[in-house]
Structure 1
Amino acid sequence: MKTHRLRRGGIMAALAAATVLVSAAPAYAEPGDGSAYGAKVDVQLLGQDAVQAGPFAAASTEGPTQNSFAGVNLPGVLKTGVINTEAVRDDESGAVTAKASTTDVEITLLKAALKEAGVKLVEAVCTATQEGVKGSTQLVGANLGKLGDVSSTPAANTELAVKLPGVGNIATVILNEQIKNKDGSLTVNAVHVKLLGDGLVGAIGSGDVVVSSATCGPAAPPIPMASGAGLWIGLGLVAAVGLPAGVYVIRRRRGATTEAAA
């Protein structure tokens, strides 16, 4: 009977210790991820070879967390200046920030329709915290010709139609495109040009051009170790169960010694 009690006490002490260890395990495997790039092109212009290039200056929370590129030069499609990107996370809070900045952008494939299609700076930002995931776009010195004035901080998913006389819409320019992904992350494309050439007579081509893209979230902070009430409850169980078992063993041994002496 005494042996049974001793084993029972030892098992309960082990379970209590396990409670502390389980409390120390992180609630999530790792924080959220993030990524960014400066430009990506996948178009088929009429009478020309397909152009597929990028993503340029790709960065991610898995590394490299920062990247840069001297400039893109795809004749008849896109020309840019310096690109800078970053995607970082705070392992303590799980917060993620992804950003892509592209300078001196010329969307040359739209110049025939718009006369002007340039932006001095195109920036996309995505941030994920415990409050949620959000994104924004900033355009500095935007001149899109016939499309008129463009806000420096366009609303999410602002769509502008690019038209040719006698043809109609040949492209859609989406500013501050925000895409909510199935995994809970958010993708922000500062400028997304979609050519509507499939089956359209007079179109200039088909495909997509994205300038400055950032993806992040959701935030998922680790719990580095047990703390607060959970820690003290676990330690209390160890003290309440493990200590009496130890005292019993000591008393039992002393009793055995006394009997032997007798």
Structure 2
Amino acid sequence: MRFSALRSTGVVGLAAAGLFAAAVPAQAAQAAGSGSAYGASITATVGPVSVTTGQLAPTNTSNPGNASTGLVNVPTDLLTVGAITSISEIDTSNNVTEIGTVFRADSQLLRLHADLLRARCNAYAADVTATNPGGLTGLSEITNLTIGSTTITPTGDVSQTQTIDGVGTIILNEQTTNSDGSLTVNALHIKIDPNIDPTGSASGDIILGSATCGTYLAPAATPTPTPTTTPPTTPPGGDSGTSGSGSGTGSVVPEGAPETGDGSEAAVTAL
């Protein structure tokens, strides 16, 4: 695998106004042998405070490697994260691996806790000369997720969805096939319930752990062979050296010998 040096932005603190400096967004995966990942993204409005983080700790296959962000505190008690990392890998065969991870996520406002939220996708390049068709796979790893007094157990299903009063709609292992054929996996996507704000005007999305893999190289089409016609080895009518029917056997009549009506030789009387 090809890697760049580890990039770390250290500890991130948020101003009271609640606005993150947006991280450089990861490049969207569009072509075969490309991908991107990030640890977290928040776009939310709660009361008078709006939060826009951009994509935190982004990586992509244009500059493959690792990215990490230390402690993150979002205002309004919306989210505290212990650490965020992402990994982008591509090998010489254009096989791509993208991973976005959040460690120790807590939200007092949403009454949420999780030890680990990780999204992963792989794009396997096809072998155009053999039987490997290539393909896209995605999965999520979620450990100790609780909201309020409820423990949320991942089923392993794609886009496992649950609505929780006072929190919103949560989607585990969210997987989306994009218009360009790429696959995006989000470990946890929270669509905020407007009623978490007393005015009923809260809105926004929180994504924790995200990875996107571009389309894979499809195998070359195998040409259909043109059928050929093999001429018969036996001339029409059977073997030219035999007579009769059915079994293909018969008696040979000497040249000039008279025959009876049934094909047998006639008696010859000497003069």
TM-score tier by shorter-chain length is 0.5 to 0.7
Paired position in structure 2 for 1:155: 157
Structure 1 residues 126-137: aligned runs within 5 Å: 126-129=121-124, 130=126, 131-137=134-140
Asked whether the equivalents of residues 144 and 151 of structure 2 are also in contact (C-alpha less than 8 Å), the reply is: no
Q: Which amino acid aligns with 1:55?
A: Q
Structure 1 residues 1-262: aligned runs within 5 Å: 31-46=32-47, 48-75=48-75, 76-92=77-93, 94-111=94-111, 117-129=112-124, 130=126, 131-151=134-154, 154-164=156-166, 171-197=168-194, 203=200, 205-220=202-217
Asked whether the equivalents of residues 170 and 190 of structure 2 are also in contact (C-alpha less than 8 Å), the reply is: yes
TM-score under structure 2 normalisation?
0.61
- Return 5+ residue gaps in structure 1 as ranges: 1-29, 112-116, 165-169, 224-262
Asked whether the equivalents of residues 40 and 206 of structure 2 are also in contact (C-alpha less than 8 Å), the reply is: yes
Asked whether the equivalents of residues 91 and 222 of structure 1 are also in contact (C-alpha less than 8 Å), the reply is: no
Cα separation, 2, equivalents of 1:154 and 1:204:
33
Counting helix residues as a fraction of each chain, which structure ranks higher?
Answer: 1
Q: Which amino acid aligns with 2:123?
A: A
Asked whether the equivalents of residues 95 and 220 of structure 1 are also in contact (C-alpha less than 8 Å), the reply is: no
Cα separation, 2, equivalents of 1:55 and 1:171:
21
Aligned-residue CA RMSD (Å): 2.4
Aligned residues: 180
Counterparts in 2 of 1:204 and 1:107: CA distance versus 1, 3 Å: farther
Higher-Rg member (1/2): 2
* Structure having greater relative contact order (Cα 8 Å, sep ≥ 6): 1
Asked whether the equivalents of residues 126 and 216 of structure 1 are also in contact (C-alpha less than 8 Å), the reply is: yes
Counterparts in 2 of 1:52 and 1:219: CA distance versus 1, 3 Å: same
- Return 5+ residue gaps in structure 2 as ranges: 1-30, 127-133, 221-271
Cα separation, 1, equivalents of 2:140 and 2:50:
29
Cα separation, 1, equivalents of 2:144 and 2:193:
26
